[in-house]
Amino acid sequence: MNFSSRLLENAVNEFSKLPGVGQKTALRLVLHLLNQSSQEVENLSDALTRLKREIRYCKVCGNISDSEVCGVCSANKRDKSLVCIVEDTRDIMAIENTNQYNGVYHVLGGLISPMDGIGPSDLNIERLVERVKTGEIEEVILALSATMEGDTTIFYIFKKLKDLPVKISTIARGIAFGGEIEYADEITLARSIATRVPYGVES
């Protein structure tokens, strides 16, 4: 692109480093910001620097937090013997939105992915093993994506935990509620028939 200003070009280049943001989108966003008040732009810019500088991770579960221990880990009414293992904070938000889960979490911070150079040591797995070794945890639920990376990570964690006195489960896979069978993919459909449950048990 043919920029009339270095400042403009610089801002567009920085924006287009974000995932899913190309040069054209970046330009649209930057021109939008140029039309906003200085205060608005400062707010965005400050929010980003403060986020990066001041953000902390819960020393128990590894979730993003403003304090040393996050709200979930420090809540009295949460069941500390049940730990749900998730990839990142977005999964916690999704599970919390269901209002059905009363245990605590453990955030891995990613999934094992040799293609992206992410090995087990890059993830928050050692800390999970330590947590389980304290003996306070009765069950861990592996709530990871049903992808190659997710399955690899599940298998690795399973191997790490299988000799410890803890129950290991994974979330149920199957046809979604409201999902139509004719549109389901073959693997999910085949597995959901193979792992069928007696009627009346689920609810």
Q: What residues between 141 and 180 interact with its own copies by CB under 8 A?
A: none
How far is Cα 136 from Cα 104, in angstroms, rounded to an integer?
Answer: 12
Q: 123 is written with which tokens? A: 């993830």
Q: What residues between 9 and 68 interact with its own copies by CB under 8 A?
A: 10-11, 13-15, 17-21, 25, 27-34, 38, 40-55, 58, 63-66
How far is Cα 35 from Cα 60, in angstroms, rounded to an integer?
Answer: 44
Q: 172 is written with which tokens? A: 């149920």
Report the residue from 22, 59, 68, 71 that binds its own copies according to the rule CB under 8 A. Answer: 71
Shortest reach from residue 187's CB to its own copies, in Å: 26
How far is Cα 63 from Cα 95, in angstroms, rounded to an integer?
Answer: 14
How far is Cα 40 from Cα 36, in angstroms, rounded to an integer?
Answer: 6
Nearer residue to its own copies within complex by CB, 27 or 125: 27
How far is Cα 101 from Cα 61, in angstroms, rounded to an integer?
Answer: 16
How far is Cα 68 from Cα 72, in angstroms, rounded to an integer?
Answer: 12
Segment contacting its own copies by CB under 8 A, of 6-14, 136-144, 149-157, 177-185 = 6-14
Segment contacting its own copies by CB under 8 A, of 7-15, 111-119, 159-167, 188-196 = 7-15
Give residue 181's Cα distance to chain centre. Answer: 28
Nearer residue to its own copies within complex by CB, 50 or 167: 50
89 near its own copies (CB under 8 A): yes
> Residues interacting with its own copies, by CB under 8 A?
1-8, 10-11, 13-15, 17-21, 25, 27-34, 38, 40-55, 58, 63-66, 70-72, 88-90, 92-93, 96-97
